[in-house]
A and B are shown apart, each in its own frame.
Chain A
Amino acid sequence: GAVVSQHPSWVICKSGTSVKIECRSLDFQATTMFWYRQFPKQSLMLMATSNEGSKATYEQGVEKDKFLINHASLTLSTLTVTSAHPEDSSFYICSPSRSGGDTEAFFGQGTRLTVV
């Protein structure tokens, strides 16, 4: 399987501050990056899809100005949660995808964000 590195694994921040989460695909080129959010005991909800060098496409209900996604290279994507609020506390998971249509999805380890 692919090797995906996501960090930090957990972060606590104050309301109103911004947090950046990094996701790296270590052994393949990720032409597409998916970002998911998961609240406790709930499913993974897709937030946005980004293609390398292009603007991200956000799912309905996800604020693009609040969740900034950068996918400037084929091995690195970042998600920045801006002006975080307690309701943004969640588990964020990245999933890089390479061209060619893998039937198996690969995931980062996830980032547990707690906003106090």
Chain B
Amino acid sequence: GQSLEQPSEVTAVEGAIVQINCTYQTSGFYGLSWYQQHDGGAPTFLSYNALDGLEETGRFSSFLSRSDSYGYLLLQELQMKDSASYFCAVFSGGYNKLIFGAGTRLAVHP
């Protein structure tokens, strides 16, 4: 089966940098994804890492270490609109169903 662990809550101030960690256990690994979800909304895709290393997309970056079964999402220059839940996720059974971690609620304060 699959399991993912991530912190439940993170708090930061505007302009700061925050890192959300995710460790996973899977039977077969097809990449680690990150999704953002605002309250009442649908998840939106942020990033996907299949290979080790850092992927940068604007203010957001995602890192993967397959040997450590670990990844993180790095959010820079935090803005109030970044307050949301962030989920790491892995595919189960190839590019098939997506299994989500419990989610990390990020609160950005002025």
Q: Which residues of A contact B (CB under 8 A)?
A: 1, 32, 34, 41-46, 49, 93, 95, 97, 100-110, 112
Contact = CB atoms under 8 A, between A and B. Distances in A.
Quick one: which of B89, B99, B100 has the most chain A CB within 10 A? B100
Interface stretch (B16-24, B37-45, B70-78): B37-45
Interface of B: 31, 33, 35, 40-45, 48, 50, 87, 89, 94-103, 105
A95 B94 contact: no
A97 B33 CA distance: 16
Nearest to B102: A43
Contacts, number: 54
A44 B95 contact: no
A28 B44 CA distance: 18
A88 B41 CA distance: 19
Quick one: which of B41, B43, B87, B103 has the most chain A CB within 10 A? B43
